[in-house]
Structure 1
Amino acid sequence: METSMMEIEKTATILKLLGDKTRLTMLKMLDTHDYCVCEFVEIFKVSQPAISQHVRKLKDVGLVKETRRGQWIIYSLNRESDSFHFVQSLIQHLPNQDFKLQELEEQGLRISCN
């Protein structure tokens, strides 16, 4: 009984986080590519602290993980998360967001975080 309550609690938390358009879009974007904070800043046209706050909330529930590459921190979808399949079943219904990355590349703003 106690475990099912935890599951509902966690699901409610995730749904609440995904109720934010920016975080929902980030997860959809991370489904196909890894991103650097700077790229999210350019794409969403919001401050770096605001982007970091969104990413931190997604990291706190285990949906996003980070990898350090030199001075860069690269964010990716945590496919090992126990909530991954649930989240993927939701975001599969969303339109592909790869065009945002293509727009960045066309503007010469794609960060090469290697």
Structure 2
Amino acid sequence: MQIKEMDSLLKAISDETRLKIISYLVRDSFCACELMEFLGMSQPAVSQHMKKLRDAGITSEEKRGRWVYYSLNKQCEMYPVILHIVNLMPSVDISSDRCICN
């Protein structure tokens, strides 16, 4: 692991919302509409946060119909570091009712 990659990771997760997103994605992959609901944010706001995480190589995405599903990039060199950080954080609640996006 290089200092440059660590710097990029820390900049990408240096935001409360992005830390929450990562803590959700450690559990499962989620569509944009679910993240919008969990975070109480608009689609453009969620997309901006996801772009920063994707640009840092932390997340990956898959388009299904009109929705994008996000997950952690397990191929990322920083994946073990991300898991460690999430384990140090307080847990976040996720509704048991998952939406099924069309």
TM-score tier by shorter-chain length is 0.7 to 0.9
Question: What residue in structure 2 maps to residue 61 of structure 1?
Answer: 56
Q: Distance in 1 between matches of 2:5 and 2:77?
A: 10
Output the TM-score relative to the length of structure 2: 0.88
Contact 2:33 2:101 in 1 (8 A): no
Identical pairs, percent = 34
Larger Cα-atom Rg = 1
More helix, by proportion: 1
1:10 maps onto 2:5 in alignment = yes
Q: Per-residue displacement from partner, 1:78-99 (whole Å, max 9, x unpaired)?
A: 11111111111111112332x2
- Cα distance, 1:26 vs structure 2: 0.5
1:95 maps onto 2:90 in alignment = yes
- Cα distance, 1:59 vs structure 2: 0.5
Q: Secondary structure at the match of 1:92?
A: helix
Task: Between the two structures, name the one with larger relative contact order (CA 8 Å, sep ≥ 6).
Answer: 2
Alignment partner for residue 111 of structure 1, among 85, 99, 102? 99
Superposed structure 1 runs of 4+ greater than 4 Å apart: none
Query: Structure 2 stretches of 5 or more lacking a match?
Result: none
Question: What residue in structure 1 maps to residue 30 of structure 2?
Answer: 35
Q: Distance in 1 between matches of 2:69 and 2:27?
A: 14
Query: Structure 1 stretches of 5 or more lacking a match?
Result: none
